[in-house]
Amino acid sequence: MGALRMAWKLQRWEITTLAAVGAVLAVTLLAVGWRMESVQASAPDCWQTDVDAVLPQSAVNECAQAYAEHDAARTIGSMAGAGVVLLPFVLGVVLGTPVVAREIEARTASIAWSVSRSRGRWLALRTLPILAFVVLGIAVIGLSSLTLQRQLTGGEVGFGSLIPQLPVLLARGLLALAVGLVAGTLLGRTLPAVLASAVFLIAISIGLSIGLDVWMSAEAKPIAELDGTSSKVYNSGLRDDATGELINLDAFLAREDADDMLEIPPPGMTMVHWQIPGSEYPVWMAREAGVTGGLAIVAGVAFVLTALRRRP
Amino acid sequence: MHARVGLAMERGSLLWGSVLIALLSAGMLVTVVGMLIVVGDLGCSTDFIGSRCAGLVEQFAPWENIAQGLTGLLWVLPTGLGALLGVGITAGEIERRSAQVSWTLAASRTRWLLVRAVPVALALFLILTVAAGFAEMVARGRLMTDDAGFHDYQLRSLLVPARGLLAFTIGLGVGAVIGRTMPALLVAVVFSAASTYGLLVLIDAWHLAAAFFVRMDDPLLNSGIYPLVASSSAGPGPDPQGLLLIPPSEYWVWVLREGGLLTLASLGAALIALGVVQRRSP
User: Which 3-state string (H, E, C) describes A137-170?
Assistant: HHHHHHHHCHHHHHHHCCCCCCCCCCCCCHHHHH
Contact assessment for residue B146 and residue B226, using Cβ atoms and an 8 Å cutoff: no
What span, in angstroms and rounded, lies between the C-alpha atoms of B282 and B278? 10
Question: Residue B232: its pLDDT value, please?
Answer: 66
Beta-strand relationship, B228-234 and B212-215: unpaired
Question: Residue-wise pLDDT tens for chain B (282 aa)?
Answer: 567 877 888 999 999 999 999 999 999 999 999 999 988 777 777 777 776 777 777 788 888 888 998 999 999 999 999 999 999 999 999 998 889 899 999 999 999 999 999 999 999 999 999 999 999 999 999 888 888 889 999 999 999 999 999 999 999 999 999 999 999 999 999 999 999 999 999 999 999 999 888 887 777 777 777 888 887 655 555 555 778 889 888 999 999 999 999 999 999 999 999 999 999 988
What span, in angstroms and rounded, lies between the C-alpha atoms of A98 and A14? 10
| Cβ contacts of A101 within 8 Å, gap of 6 or more | A183, A184, A185, A187, A188, A189, A190, A193
What span, in angstroms and rounded, lies between the C-alpha atoms of B80 and B190? 10
Q: In what helix (H) or strand (E) does residue A233 lie, and over which residues does it extend?
A: strand A232-240
From the candidates A25, A191, A271, which should be mutated to test the interface with B, based on the most B CB atoms within 10 A?
A191
Question: Residue A1: its pLDDT value, please?
Answer: 67
Question: Residue B150: its pLDDT value, please?
Answer: 92
Question: Residue B57: its pLDDT value, please?
Answer: 78
Question: Residue A214: its pLDDT value, please?
Answer: 92
| Cβ contacts of A141 within 8 Å, gap of 6 or more | A22, A25, A26, A29, A84, A87, A169
Per-residue DSSP letters for B211-256? -EEEETT-GGGGSS---EEEEEEE-SSSS-EEEEEE-GGGHHHHHH
Contact assessment for residue B239 and residue B215, using Cβ atoms and an 8 Å cutoff: yes
Question: Residue A32: its pLDDT value, please?
Answer: 94
| Averaged pLDDT, A93-106 | 94
Q: Which residues of B touch A (CB under 8 A)?
A: 12-13, 15-17, 19-20, 23-24, 27, 51-52, 54-56, 58-59, 73, 80-81, 84, 87-88, 92, 96, 178, 180-183, 185-187, 190
Q: In what helix (H) or strand (E) does residue A218 lie, and over which residues does it extend?
A: helix A190-219
What span, in angstroms and rounded, lies between the C-alpha atoms of B19 and B127? 10
B185 and A94 in contact by Cβ < 8 A? yes
B19 and A199 in contact by Cβ < 8 A? yes
Question: Residue B233: its pLDDT value, please?
Answer: 57
Q: Is B263 exposed, middle or buried (0-12, 13-18, 19+ CB in 10 A)?
A: middle
Q: Which residue of B has its CA nearest to A106?
A: B96
* Global pTM value: 0.88
Cα torsion B11, B14, B15, B16: sign: positive
Query: Tens digit of pLDDT for each residue in A21-49?
Result: 999 999 999 999 999 989 888 887 787 66
Question: Residue A236: its pLDDT value, please?
Answer: 83
Question: Which residues in chain A have their CB less than 8 angstroms from residue B180's CB?
Answer: 13
In this structure, chain A runs to a length of: 312
What span, in angstroms and rounded, lies between the C-alpha atoms of A182 and A297? 12
Report chain B's C-alpha Rg in angstroms.
22
What span, in angstroms and rounded, lies between the C-alpha atoms of B132 and A76? 27
Q: Which residue of A190, A192, A253 is in closest CB contact with B55?
A: A253
What span, in angstroms and rounded, lies between the C-alpha atoms of A87 and B35? 32
Q: Which residue of A94, A187, A195 is in closest CB contact with B186?
A: A94
Question: Residue A246: its pLDDT value, please?
Answer: 87
Q: How confident is the model at residue A227 (pLDDT cuts 50, 70, 90)?
A: low
Distance set, CA A155 to CA A37, A78, A151, A235, B219 (Å): 11, 15, 6, 26, 41
Report chain A's C-alpha Rg in angstroms.
25
Question: Residue A308: its pLDDT value, please?
Answer: 94
Q: Which residue of A has its CA nearest to B67?
A: A206
Question: Residue A7: its pLDDT value, please?
Answer: 78
Query: Tens digit of pLDDT for each residue in A237-278?
Result: 888 888 888 888 777 777 767 667 767 788 888 889 899 988
Query: Tens digit of pLDDT for each residue in A178-216?
Result: 999 999 999 999 999 999 999 999 999 989 998 999 999
Query: Cα distance from A136 to chain B (closest Cα, Å)?
Result: 19
pLDDT at A90 exceeding the cut of 90 = yes
What span, in angstroms and rounded, lies between the C-alpha atoms of B77 and B95? 25
Question: Which residues in chain A have their CB less than 8 angstroms from residue B185's CB?
Answer: 94, 191, 194
Helix, strand and coil percent figures for chain A, each rounded to 5: 70, 5, 20
Better-scored residue on pLDDT, B153 or A151: B153
pLDDT at A235 exceeding the cut of 90 = no
Percent of chain A with pLDDT over 90: 54
A195 and B84 in contact by Cβ < 8 A? yes
Query: Tens digit of pLDDT for each residue in A118-141?
Result: 999 999 999 999 999 999 999 999
Vertex A80, ends A78 and A82: CA angle to 5°? 70
What span, in angstroms and rounded, lies between the C-alpha atoms of A80 and A145? 9
Query: What does the mean pLDDT of chain A come to?
Result: 88
Query: Cα distance from B80 to chain A (closest Cα, Å)?
Result: 9
Contact assessment for residue A26 and residue A151, using Cβ atoms and an 8 Å cutoff: no
Question: Residue A219: its pLDDT value, please?
Answer: 93
Cα torsion B109, B110, B112, B116: sign: positive
What span, in angstroms and rounded, lies between the C-alpha atoms of A98 and A189? 8
Query: Cα distance from A86 to chain B (closest Cα, Å)?
Result: 11
Query: Cα distance from A96 to chain B (closest Cα, Å)?
Result: 11
Contact assessment for residue B167 and residue B83, using Cβ atoms and an 8 Å cutoff: yes
Question: Residue B43: its pLDDT value, please?
Answer: 73
Question: Residue B237: its pLDDT value, please?
Answer: 52
| Cβ contacts of A184 within 8 Å, gap of 6 or more | A96, A97, A98, A99, A100, A101, A102, A190, A193
Terminal CA-CA length for chain B? 25
Terminal CA-CA length for chain A? 26
Contact assessment for residue A173 and residue A85, using Cβ atoms and an 8 Å cutoff: no
| Averaged pLDDT, A40-64 | 74
Q: Which residue of B has its CA nearest to A18?
A: B186
